[in-house]
A = this chain, B = another copy of it.
Amino acid sequence: MKSTENERLLQTPDSQAAAFERVRQAHQMEATEDYVELIDDLIHSLGEARLVDVAERMGISQPSASKTIARLQRDGFVTSEPYRSIFLTEKGKTLADRSRARHDVVFRFLLAIGVPESVAEQDSEGLEHHVSDETLAIFERIIQQKKDESAPDESS
């Protein structure tokens, strides 16, 4: 029985490979989600999403932003005429809403467990893409618990 000679690998190769595969999948969607979320924010706060603002807020050069926007357009998340601002398609808007919802849950969860706001802002940006639906639901439950604790009398 070789498997007992030293216990360290708890997972089977398959389940471990599946976990990594899942992470890779998440990565593929990350940029897309971050961009549509940001574009939606820009539209709501500034009235339109300009490439220059996207680039600034992503912290990358305009050409880099432009290339990714082109991919988003190719994949049906945004539309934009040359030299004009960027619009979300229905598909893009839907994804943006979903992403922001997740982002908010993660952010509020971190606050609820005592993470300082500035740190929670930073961390939630990275974490949001890697939280499963099941874990997200638990996050929500805990947010609610904390809310109930601090304001016990708000039934209905």
- A binding-site residues for B, Cβ under 8 Å: 5-11, 13, 15-23, 26-27, 30, 34, 41-42, 44-45, 53, 56-60, 110, 113-116, 118-123, 125-127, 129-132, 134-135, 138, 142
Contacts and interface: CB of A to CB of B under 8 A. Distances in A.
Contact of A16 (B9, B57, B120, B129): B57
A94 to B, nearest CB: 18
A11 B134 contact: no
B126 A44 contact: no
Contact of A20 (B26, B58, B113): B58
Nearest to A38: B16
A18 B119 CA distance: 12
A42 B18 CA distance: 17
Contacts of A5: 45
A98 to B, nearest CB: 17
A131 to B, nearest CB: 6
Contact of A23 (B15, B22, B44, B125): B125
A132 B138 contact: no
Given A7-B45, A113-B138, 4 more contacts: A18-B59, A20-B58, A20-B125, A22-B125
Return the 9 tightest CB-CB contacts between A and B, nearest first: A17-B59, A126-B130, A8-B45, A19-B125, A23-B126, A8-B44, A9-B45, A19-B122, A16-B57
